[in-house]
């Protein structure tokens, strides 16, 4: 990826180490792209995440300087966030007649307090709807490489996926899905709604990828994403499929416990968005016969 000369976003907060405060319950949007990994490994079960009201701003305490490698990852995340801002500021009004209000990105290490509760690094990246922030421990990028998804575009996909949840929030999808999950009769039905939500965020990440080069060229005159980068994004999507994570953790798969979708589903969702560049192509709920 040619990101080094790209615009940096102004919506990045680096709380570093020690961005801690009092603990709260985990919010409904707090499970990120690999949020269940540690829970899978320890228990073999899918975590039960419930919505918690309230709005708490992250608290910054002592902050230690980041290493050169960490600083580079911070700059990378800032450029990718800026690219999502440029893309969605154009796409959302055109395709949905909704103005785009960008989220803020909070970079942390070890743990951080959000409006969705206290989050630890093991949760992975996540989006919190109440405070409209994406939370990311830059150390997660190393974990992504160990999971079989090296490369910069795989990292960009992770950020774009979480921003996809923000787009869902702006479109009112997150609120309607939360209401619907409260009305379903079984955990399996609730999990199915979660899968559709995550697959749509994957698809929205693909929509960003479709439009990113055009918007990046208009401000930077360089191609942000090369064709060979796409394989890295697809590998990232595949590496965090529920079937793969469950098989690695306990040796077998329980489809009704999926909360993010299988590897094949996640890859296909990303490819759909990337190939079409259309929000309407990402209507995972309508395709499943669910009207929001």
% the chain with pLDDT above 70? 62
Domains, the chain, with CATH or none = 12-287 (3.40.390)
- pLDDT on residue 125: 85
Please tell me which residue, 34 or 123, carries the higher pLDDT value.
123
Query: What is the pLDDT confidence band of residue 14, given thresholds at 50, 70 and 90?
Result: confident
- Rounded Cα gap, residues 289 and 189, in angstroms: 13
- pLDDT on residue 33: 40
Q: Considering the chain, what is the average pLDDT of its residues? A: 75
Interhelix angle 187-220/173-183, rounded to 10 degrees, is 170
pTM summary value: 0.78
Query: What is the pLDDT confidence band of residue 189, given thresholds at 50, 70 and 90?
Result: confident
% the chain with pLDDT above 90? 36
170 pLDDT higher than 60: yes
- Rounded Cα gap, residues 89 and 94, in angstroms: 9
| pLDDT tens digits, 54-105 | 334 444 444 555 666 677 788 889 999 999 999 999 999 999 999 999 999 9
- Nearest Cα to Cα of residue 177 among 253, 288, 267, 255: 288
Q: Is residue 264 classed as helix, strand or coil in its secondary structure?
A: helix
- Rounded Cα gap, residues 186 and 191, in angstroms: 9
148 pLDDT higher than 70: no
Query: What is the pLDDT confidence band of residue 6, given thresholds at 50, 70 and 90?
Result: confident
Of 3-12, 13-22, 201-210, which range is least confident? Answer: 13-22
- Rounded Cα gap, residues 278 and 84, in angstroms: 15
Please tell me which residue, 192 or 146, carries the higher pLDDT value.
192
Residue 202, φ and ψ in degrees, nearest 5? -60, -45
- pLDDT on residue 207: 96
- pLDDT on residue 3: 63
């Amino acid at each position: 990826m040619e990101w080094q000369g790209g615009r940096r976003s102004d919506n990045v907060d680096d709380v570093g180490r020690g961005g801690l405060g009092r603990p709260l319950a985990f919010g409904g949007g707090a499970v990120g792209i690999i949020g269940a990994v540690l829970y899978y490994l320890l228990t073999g079960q899918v975590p039960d995440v419930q919505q918690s009201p309230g709005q708490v701003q992250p608290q910054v305490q002592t902050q230690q300087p980041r290493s050169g490698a960490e600083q580079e990852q911070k700059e990378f995340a800032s450029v990718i966030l800026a690219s999502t801002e440029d893309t969605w500021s154009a796409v959302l009004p055109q395709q949905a007649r909704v103005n785009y209000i960008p989220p803020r990105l909070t970079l942390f290490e070890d743990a951080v307090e959000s409006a969705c509760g206290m989050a630890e690094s093991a949760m992975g990246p996540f989006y919190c709807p109440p405070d409209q922030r994406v939370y990311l421990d830059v150390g997660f990028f190393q974990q992504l490489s160990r999971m079989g998804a090296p490369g910069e575009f795989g990292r960009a996909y992770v950020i774009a996926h979480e921003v996809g949840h923000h787009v869902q929030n702006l479109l009112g999808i997150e609120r309607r899905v939360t209401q619907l999950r409260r009305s379903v009769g079984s955990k399996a039905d609730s999990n199915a709604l979660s899968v559709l939500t995550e697959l749509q965020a994957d698809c929205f990440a693909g929509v960003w990828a479709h439009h990113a080069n055009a918007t990046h060229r208009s401000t930077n005159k360089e191609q942000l994403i090369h064709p060979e980068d796409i394989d890295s994004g697809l590998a990232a999507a595949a590496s965090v499929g529920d079937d793969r994570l469950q098989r690695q953790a306990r040796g077998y798969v329980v489809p009704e416990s999926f909360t993010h979708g299988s590897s094949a589903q996640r890859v296909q969702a990303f490819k759909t968005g990337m190939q079409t560049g259309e929000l309407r192509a990402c209507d995972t709920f309508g395709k499943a016969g669910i009207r929001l």
